Structures are given as structure tokens and as C-alpha cells.
Amino acid sequence: MKVSILMGSTSDLEVMTPAMKTLEEFGIEYEKRVISAHRAPDLLREYVTTARDRGVVTIIAGAGGAAHLPGVTAAMTTVPVIGVPILGKALGGLDALLSMVQMPSGVPVATVGINGSKNAALLAVQIIALQDESTLAKLEAFRKQQTEKIVNTII
Ligand code: RP5
């Protein structure tokens, strides 16, 4: 089982890096690709329609602006797609957020917050943990540690 991290441009790489780091922390295998839905639609189709056969169980897709990458990806596969709206040069990232969250009925994109690639990775970890005991153990340890950090915080 592995995760795919897709992004529309190399300019998205910085925002998507926390997703990669998070998957690495959990020891989850992932592949990463830059494929624009607008600039390389044929390549995107080829990549997405073969993802399941490569063992991909979740696709995390980040894009900014007229962010069609997650929606178009979701249209071409039944593998769950998590969208990461990326803050662009205008509109405070709302353009990307709304284009992901407002998908038409029947083709969902599970959308996280603007620039929320870490949460996207954590959702992917949770999906994998449904079927993988060792990932579940790591996830429970992560949650416990997170809770302890808060509980033990003295200001
Ligand atoms: C989107 O347009 C990309 O996902 C990126 O967030 C934005 C700008 O892309 P570049 O012009 O920097 O390649 O498709």
C-alpha cells in the first residue's frame, strides 16, 4: 500500500513537503509527481488510471488558483483523493479551496484546509491504518504523544 502525492507545479513543492515528511515519519511508502491538469492532461490521465495497479490507496493532490487537479484526478479513479488547496497570488487561497470543496455530487474530493498538506498525509495514514496494524500502532502513539504535549504544557 502506498500514497501518491501529486501537485500541479513545482511551485507547490514547498507547501506539499510537510505531507512527504509526515508519511516518512510513519514509514509509509509514497510516490511524488508534478503533473498539471491543465498543462499535461494526457499525462495526468495515464498516471491516475494506472495508480491503483501500482498499489496506490490514496492520492493527495495539491494545487493553487483554478485548482482542478484533485477534481479531475477524482473523476478518473475510485482511489480516494484528498485535495490540498494551495495559497496562490490572489484571493487568499479561496479560489483553490472552493474549487476542491465544491465538487459536484458523485465525485468527492476530501478537502483539507488551505496549505494543509500535513493533515492530508495524516488522513492518508488513517486510511492505511484501517488495514495495517503497524501503521495503526504508530498512529495511536502519535495521537497519545500529541495529547501529552498539550496536557503537559505549562505557560
Ligand atoms: C496551479 O497553478 C499550480 O498548482 C500552482 O499552484 C499554480 C501556479 O503554477 P505555476 O504558474 O507556478 O506553475 O496549476
Query: What pLDDT was estimated at residue 9?
Result: 98
Average pLDDT over residues 45-69: 98
Query: What pLDDT was estimated at residue 130?
Result: 98
Query: What pLDDT was estimated at residue 19?
Result: 98
8 lines ligand 1 (CB under 6 A): yes
Tell me the three state secondary structure of residue 138. Answer: helix
Distance 34 CA to ligand 1 centre (A): 10
34 lines ligand 1 (CB under 6 A): no
Distance 148 CA to ligand 1 centre (A): 39
Query: What pLDDT was estimated at residue 94?
Result: 97
Query: What pLDDT was estimated at residue 67?
Result: 97
Distance 33 CA to ligand 1 centre (A): 14
Q: Where are the beta strands (DSSP E) in 12-113?
A: 30-34, 56-64, 81-86, 110-111
Which pLDDT band, with edges at 50, 70 and 90, does 2 fall under?
very high
Q: Which protein residue's CA is at the shortest distance from atom 1 of ligand 1?
A: 64
Q: Which protein residue's CA is at the shortest distance from atom 6 of ligand 1?
A: 64
pLDDT single digits (tens) 15-48: 999 999 999 999 999 999 999 999 999 999 999 9
pLDDT single digits (tens) 92-141: 999 999 999 999 999 999 999 999 999 999 999 999 999 999 999 999 99
CA dihedral 124, 125, 127, 130 (to 10 degrees): 170
Best residue among 5, 10, 11 to mutate for probing ligand 1, ranked by most atoms within 8 Å of CB: 11
Which pLDDT band, with edges at 50, 70 and 90, does 151 fall under?
confident
Q: Which protein residue's CA is at the shortest distance from atom 10 of ligand 1?
A: 9
Tell me the three state secondary structure of residue 125. Answer: helix
Q: Work out whether the CA dihedral 43, 48, 54, 57 comes out positive or negative.
A: positive
Distance 89 CA to ligand 1 centre (A): 10
